[in-house]
Amino acid sequence: MIGEGDAGGQDLRYRAREAYRQRAWADAYEMLATADRQSALEPADLDLLTTSAYLLGRNEAGDGLSSRGYRDAAARGDATRAARCALWLGMHLLLRGEVARGGGWLARAKQVLDDGQHDCAEQGYLLVPVGLKLVEEGDAAATDVVGSCGVREHSVSSLCALECQGAQC
């Protein structure tokens, strides 16, 4: 039976990862959630479960999983992963109009990175809400400065794509 013993759990996780790669979000979510109930997921699999939850519109589940990812990473001393979890949770909350909670999680992500003086892509991602706010306020020139700063200092393809969107390439 699937899920019995370690071998069954590993098979379930493998199949869940395959479902995720095939963009079968519901299958990936169900299999990863089942595997997680059997034994706590590793960080990479927890990320897949979290993303699947959000893609399925299960925002409360995604929020809880993001929060758990933050706590787990912080407890392991993995500041970059903790900041990434806090960052994405903050972004999801902001996009749903939960400004206070979202801002709190973004501040937490920034604090984690600042405390350890981490120079990483997550620092660039923290500029995204700043840029969005500037766009909303109609300050396109400042948006270009924020965007190019984030891309130049924290060059990551997804940041480049976000800057390009802001500049309407």
- Residue 145 confidence (pLDDT): 53
What CA–CA distance (Å, rounded) separates 94 from 150? 20
Task: Note whether residue 133 is domain-resident.
Answer: yes
DSSP state of 28: H
Written as one string, the DSSP assignment of 74-127 is: HHHT-HHHHHHHHHHHHHHHHHTT-HHHHHHHHHHHHHHHHHTT--SHHHHHTH
Q: Give, in order, the Cα–Cα distances in Å from 71 to each of 93, 137, 141.
A: 18, 34, 37
Q: Which of 122, 119, 166 minimizes the C-alpha distance to 146?
A: 166
Is residue 146 pLDDT above 90, yes or no? no
Calculate the average pLDDT of the chain: 82
For 131, the domain range is 121-169
- Residue 30 confidence (pLDDT): 98
Q: Give 124-136 pLDDT, tens digit per residue.
A: 788 777 777 777 7
Task: Note whether residue 13 is domain-resident.
Answer: no
Any idea which residue has 């059997």 for tokens?
38
- Residue 121 confidence (pLDDT): 77
Is residue 154 pLDDT above 50, yes or no? no
Average pLDDT over residues 107-126: 84
Task: Note whether residue 76 is domain-resident.
Answer: no
Average pLDDT over residues 35-62: 97
Is residue 143 pLDDT above 60, yes or no? no
What CA–CA distance (Å, rounded) separates 150 from 119? 11
Task: Note whether residue 135 is domain-resident.
Answer: yes
Mean pLDDT lowest among 44-58, 61-75, 126-140 = 126-140
Per the structure, how many domains does the chain have?
Answer: 1
Q: What is the value of pTM for the model shown?
A: 0.76
Task: Note whether residue 165 is domain-resident.
Answer: yes
Task: Note whether residue 113 is domain-resident.
Answer: no
